[in-house]
Amino acid sequence: MIRKTDSSLSLPFSMKIFAGIDIGGTTMNIGLVSEDGQVLDETVVPTCPEKGPEDALNRIAESLKQMLAAHRKKDCRGIGIGIPGLIDTDKGCILEASNLPGWESFSIIGHLSAKMNMPVFIENDANLAALGEYWLGAGHGADNLFMVTLGSGIGGAILAGGKILKMHPSAGEFGHMIIERSGATCTCGRRGCLETYISKHGFERMFREKQSGYPMSSVKPAENEPVSPQLLAEHASHGDILANLIFLEAGEALGIAISNVINLTGVTCILVGGGIANAWDLLQEPVMRSVERNVFKSILSGVSVCKAALGEKAGFMGAARLAVDSVSKHAREVL
Ligand SMILES: [Zn+2]
């Protein structure tokens, strides 16, 4: 367990604190955050999804109790949780999550709130990363915001006036926006999705398709060795033509997809986060060129596209903000 505590933070006795948890397929990020957005404590624990939701939630509860004991003067009012999948926020359970097989229908809210004796709220993780960036990151206070999360897959979330915009739990499948109608087959079974360009398997696909045409390329993976976006980024930044061409295509595809969202919704603050966004230096130019070419001129002057600021902390910070908002909404309804 990695434990990081900022002992220099000294909060007033009466300051309310909230817990934010970001559950991923491999690790769970847990943070204690004050109501005004200061991170008091954070830790990372393995998810071990194969052991099931009860085991993972019991380990979350154990970590939270340890963290709260270390901050015993503070008053924890609620817990927010981000989940990588489709969520029933009212019932507090997962409908579909490919990284958490077998977790469907288990009452996450019921189990953890009974263990911790405080209210628990859940939401899709991409939505909460956007909420975290809106609260404390690169989208701080933006009227409207669209956040793209680039990782193994692609997430997308829109906030309007600080509220998550969704009309169906399956909404926000930004990675499966079709860029090329006769393009490569995607993992979803359709053709030409954004993920066939800019995702872990998208980069791999482009490399395998192009490598024979670039025998001088310095990217020479051993047989069966995967070609990760990180590896391609290293070679691209050293001037490799093939690796640069792949980032050019990926950036153009991302720019087309972002342009479609801007033209459809009028959103003007666009943030790009997730592991692949670490290669933003390589993506920025083709993304911006594509956005300038494809967005209507009347909207374009107000558009900004930049890298997200909070990195892997965005998820648990957004989860804490979900708890802050949900608890205060409940208090208003009771009055
Ligand atoms: Zn797809």
**Distance, CA 153 to ligand 1 centroid (Å)?**
10
Q: Give the domains, in start order, of the chain with CATH numbers.
A: 2-131+312-334 (3.30.420.40), 141-309 (3.30.420.40)
Asked if 124 contacts 85 with a C-beta cutoff of 8 angstroms, the reply is: yes
**Distance, CA 63 to ligand 1 centroid (Å)?**
37
**Distance, CA 182 to ligand 1 centroid (Å)?**
12
**Distance, CA 259 to ligand 1 centroid (Å)?**
18
Asked if 294 contacts 251 with a C-beta cutoff of 8 angstroms, the reply is: no
pLDDT grade, residue 7 (50/70/90)? very low
**Distance, CA 173 to ligand 1 centroid (Å)?**
9
**Distance, CA 100 to ligand 1 centroid (Å)?**
19
pTM for this structure?
0.89
CA distances from 254 to 179, 276, 302, 323 (A): 9, 12, 19, 32
**Distance, CA 180 to ligand 1 centroid (Å)?**
11
**Distance, CA 185 to ligand 1 centroid (Å)?**
8
Asked if 205 contacts 196 with a C-beta cutoff of 8 angstroms, the reply is: yes
pLDDT of 171 above 90: no
**Distance, CA 176 to ligand 1 centroid (Å)?**
4
* Encoded tokens for 81: 């949780």
Neighbours of 142 (CB within 10 A): 20
**Distance, CA 312 to ligand 1 centroid (Å)?**
25
Chain centroid offset of residue 267 CA: 18
**Distance, CA 181 to ligand 1 centroid (Å)?**
11
**Distance, CA 66 to ligand 1 centroid (Å)?**
42
Neighbours of 26 (CB within 10 A): 10
**Distance, CA 155 to ligand 1 centroid (Å)?**
12
**Distance, CA 109 to ligand 1 centroid (Å)?**
31
In which element (H, E) is residue 206 found? Answer: helix 200-210
CB under 5 Å of ion ligand 1: residues: 176, 186, 188, 190, 193
Q: How far apart are CA 146 and CA 179, in angstroms?
A: 18
Q: How far apart are CA 81 and CA 328, in angstroms?
A: 17
Q: pLDDT for 224-279, tens place per residue?
A: 888 999 999 999 999 999 999 999 999 999 999 999 999 999 999 999 999 899 99
**Distance, CA 13 to ligand 1 centroid (Å)?**
50
Q: How far apart are CA 167 and CA 174, in angstroms?
A: 14
Residue 189 region by backbone torsions, left for phi larger than 0, else alpha for psi between -120 and 50, else beta:
left
Percent of the chain with pLDDT over 70: 94
Q: What's the chain's average pLDDT?
A: 91
Phi, psi of 287 (to 5 degrees): -65, -50
Q: pLDDT for 25-70, tens place per residue?
A: 889 999 999 999 999 999 999 999 999 999 999 999 999 999 999 8
